[in-house]
Structure 1
Amino acid sequence: MDVSMDPTALQTRFDLFGGAEELPPSLRARGKKTANIARTDSGVSMLPAGSSDDSSDEGTTRATTPGWEEDVKVDDAVPPPPQPPPRGMEWAPNEIQPPLDGSDFLWSLNEEPHRSRRRAILKAHPEITKLMGHEPLTKWVVLFVSLVQFSTAFYLRNTPFFSWKFWILAYVIGGTANQNTFLAVHEITHNLAFRGVRANRLFAILTNLPIGVPFAMMFKKYHIEHHKFLGEDGIDTDLPSRLELIVLKSVLGKAFFWYAPPWTCLLTCSPCTGTGSSTFQIFFYALRPGFIRYQAPTRWIALNMVVQLSFNTLVVKTLGWNSMLYFLLSSHMAGSLHPLAGHFIAEHYLFNGHDQETWSYYGPLNVLAYNVGLHNQHHDFPSIPWTRLYKLDDIAKEFYEPLPSHPSWPGVTWRFITDPNVGMWCRLKRNGKGLGRGDEGGGGSGVVVNAGGLKDE
C-alpha cells in the first residue's frame, strides 16, 4: 500500500504521536512520488523522495515513518474501558490500617452501611417488598417453647437446686428454650408476630414470662435505637464502654465477660441491647436505666414489670422456689457458654482485620434462633420476618456473597476468649448526632417507611 497517497492513514498515524486533529501543511501528502516521511533529531519532517518506484516509496515510508509498524500494535494493545465492579462488590469490607492494637475502638466517619445497601437492593430487586410483614407462625413457636419451659419447671419443682439433673436440664433445655424466647421477643419487637403494634406489645410481655426478668418493653426502646443509630457512641448502647475495654482486655477478663456469676451483673457499666455483652445480658435489660443512656419509663414498661412479677409470685406460691430458680438459671445459661450464645459476639464485633461491623452466620443453629444469624439481612430489612430472611438472601445474593460470614457460633465464642487480636475493642464507633433518616424500617425511601417496629410509639 502506498501510504503517501492515503491522507487518512497519515492523519491516524499522526494523531497517535502529535494529538492533532488535522495534519499541518508541511506533512500533507503532495503526490504519490514526491514525498516521503523520515525522522530527524528534531521530530518529523518531509524529505525529497529518493525513488519514483512505488515499491521503493512504500518501503522508504515504512522504514522511516516513526512508529508506523508500532501503530498497529499500539491500537491492538489499547486496554478496554474500565468496567464497573460486579454488583455487590462495593459492599465488601476493607482492611483496617493500622490494625487495632487494643488501645481503642475503630472510629469511623462513614455512615452505617445498611441504609444505603437497602436502597441499592430495593432498586435492583423491588419485589423484596413483598417479603415484608408479620409471620403468623411465630406465635405458635412461642407457645410451644413456653410450654416446654413450664413443663420442665413443673418437673423440677422437687429437684434440689444443687444437683446434676437440675443444672443439666437448665443448660440443655432451659438455656436453649430461653435463648429462643429471648430471640422471639426480638422478633416481636419489630412487630412481626401480629399486624397491630398493641397486639405485638402484649404478646411480647407474655413471651417474656419464662425469662423471669421483665425486659421486653425496655428492650424494645433500646433495640430500636440500635437499628436507627448503629455504632453511634452514647446512643447505641450495644457498644461496650471504654471502661470495659480496659478492664476486660485479658483472656481472663474476656472469659469473665462470657461467664460472670449472676450477682456481678450489677457491676457492669455497659448494658446491651440485644447483641452486646453475653453473660447475664438478659438481666441488663431490666437493670440498665441509669447506666449509659437513661430512658424514661412508660406505661408499657410498668405493665411488663407488673405482669412478670405477678407471674413470678404465682410460680413460687404454686410450684415453689426451685421452679422459679429454674427459669432464672435457664436465662443465665442462655447467655453464657451456650452454643447459641455465640451470636451475641458474632453479630457486630470486628474480625479478621476487616471493618465490617455486621456479620452473618448461615449454619444449622439458626433453626433454634429465629434465623438471627442472617444479621446483615436483618439489619438491611428489619421488617422481613425470620421465615423469609433466607428468601431475601437468595434474591439479593450478589449483595451478600461478598460479605465474610462466620462458620460457627461456638467457634466465635472460643476465638473471642482466646485470640489476643479479638476483644472488647473490636467494635466500630461513630461520633453520631442521633439523626434518624426515617427509612430505617427496611422499606427504603417512600416504601413502608416505619415498618419493622422501628417506630416505638
Structure 2
Amino acid sequence: MKPDPNLIWIISMMFLAQLVSFYLVQDLEWKWVLFWSYVFGSTINNSITTSIHEISHNFPFGNRRALWNRWFGIFANLPLGVPFSVSYKRYHRDHHRYLGVGGLDVDIPTDFEGWFFCTTFRKFVWITFQPLFVILRPLVINPKPITSLEIINTVTQIIFDIIVYYVFGVKSLVYMLAASLLGLGLHPIAGHFISEHYMFLKGHETYSYYGPLNLLTFNLGYHNEHHDFPNIPGKNLPLVRKIAAEYYDKLPQHTSWIKLLYDFMTDDTLSPYTRVKRLQKGK
C-alpha cells in the first residue's frame, strides 16, 4: 500500500501521444479521422480513464499530497474532451464504500435502463452510448453540490477544447471526442464496465479478468483484488493474487472482454438489471 509515481510519467506520455494524434489527423479525410479515432484514439482514451481511476485512489502522489492528485487528474482528463476526473473521484469513493447500494452507488443502472435496454439491439445501443449514461446517471441517482474543483475541471477542459479547435482544427476536436465515445462504448477494452460487477453467475457479484488487456488498463481487471485492497496500486495487484492464490484462483473469472460483450448483448437473461442492488439503511 504505497504510491506509484511511475503513473506520472506513463500518463504524461499518453497525453503527449494524443497531442501528436491531433496533429496527424488534422488533414485526413473524415473516414480516416473516425477510423483512427476508433483504432488508436479510443484505446488511449480508455486507458486514460482507467488511469484517472488510479489517480482517484491517490496513487501517483500518495494520500499526503491528495490535492496534487486532483490537479494531476485534471491534467490527465484533457485528452478526453469532457470534464470527468474530479466528479469521478467523488462518486467512486461511494462505489467502494457503498457497493451496490441504491441511491449511493451510481455504478448501479437506473430502473429505466434496466427496463428499456432488455433486447439484443437495445443492449447494443446501451453499450455503444455507455459514456453518456455514466455521465448523466449521477445526476439522477445521487446528485451532489458542485465543488470549486469541479468548476476548475470544467473550465480547464473547455479552454483546452477551444485550443485544440483553433490550433489543429475541427477534425482533431471530433477525433478527440469520438475517441472518448467509441473507447468507452462498443470497444474491447470497455468490456471491463460489464465484467466488473454484472452477475453472470448467481451469487457472484464481482469478477476479475487476468488477460492481456490489463496492460492497457493498469490491471483494473484484477477487480476482486482491487475491492479487497483499494489502497494497493494496480501494478501490485498481480502480486496480491499471487500471495493469496488460494482465495482468488477458485473464484469465477472472465477470460475475454470481447466475448463478454457479445454474451451480454445476446443472452436474454442478462441486462442492466443483472446487478446486486442493496437497500439503503439509515440516512
With normalisation by structure 1, the TM-score equals 0.60
After TM superposition, list the pairs within 5 Å mapping 1:297-308 onto structure 2: 297-308=146-157
In the alignment, structure 1 residue 365 sits paired with structure 2 residue 216: no
Following the alignment from structure 2 to structure 1, what is the Cα–Cα distance between the partners of residues 102 and 182?
29
Identity of aligned residues (%): 38
Q: Give 1:291 shift.
A: 1.8
Change beyond 3 A, Cα 1:348–1:226:
same
Secondary structure of 2:141's counterpart equals coil
More helix, by proportion = 2
CA contact (8 A) 1:174 1:327 kept: yes
Match of residue 250 from structure 1:
119
Structure 2 counterpart of 1:251, one-letter code: T
- Alignment match, 2:8: 139
Is the contact between residue 361 and residue 374 of structure 1 (CA under 8 Å) also seen in structure 2?
yes
- Cα 1:240–1:380 change in 2 (3 A) is same
Whole-Å Cα distance in 2 between the matches of residues 405 and 418 of structure 1?
19
Structure 2 CA distance, aligned partners of 1:366 and 1:215? 22
Query: Would the aligned equivalents of 2:110 and 2:137 in 1 still touch at CA under 8 Å?
Result: no
Instruction: State how far apart, in whole Å, the 2-side matches of 1:225 and 1:365 are.
Output: 26
TM (norm. structure 2) is 0.96
Shift, 1:432, TM fit: 2.3
Matching of residue 280 in structure 1 with residue 147 in structure 2: no
Return the match for 2:230 from 382, 386, 404. 382
Matches within 5 A, 1:269-418: 279-281=130-132, 284-285=134-135, 287-288=136-137, 290-352=139-201, 354-418=202-266
Look up the equivalent residue of 2:87 and give its one-letter code. M
Aligned mates of 2:270, 2:159 — CA distance in 1: 42
Contact 1:229 1:434 (C-alpha < 8 Å) held by counterparts: no
Q: Kindly tell me: are residues 410 and 309 of structure 1, through their superposed partners in 2, closer, same or farther at Cα, counting changes over 3 Å?
A: same
Distance, in Å, in 2 between the alignment partners of 1:395 and 1:215 is 34
- Coordinate RMSD, CA, aligned: 1.4
1:178 and 1:331 in contact (8 A); partners too: yes
**Counterparts in 2 of 1:170-189, with a 5 A limit?**
170-189=37-56
Deviation at 1:280, TM superposition (A): 2.1
Partners of 1:166 and 1:241 lie apart in 2 by 34
Which structure would you say has the larger Rg? 1
- 1:3-42 to structure 2, matched below 5 A, reads none
Query: Secondary structure of 1:306's partner?
Result: helix
Aligned residue-pair number: 281
Contact persistence 1:235–1:434 (CA under 8 A) = no
Amino acid at match of 1:197: A
**One-letter amino acid of the structure 1 residue matched with residue 46 of structure 2:** Q
Matched, 1:193 2:42: no
Q: Name the amino acid aligned to 1:206.
A: F
Q: CA deviation at 1:433?
A: 2.3
Equivalent residue letter for 1:156: V
State the partner residue of 1:237. Answer: 106
Say if 2:8 is the partner of 1:157.
no
Contact 2:109 2:137 in 1 (8 A): no
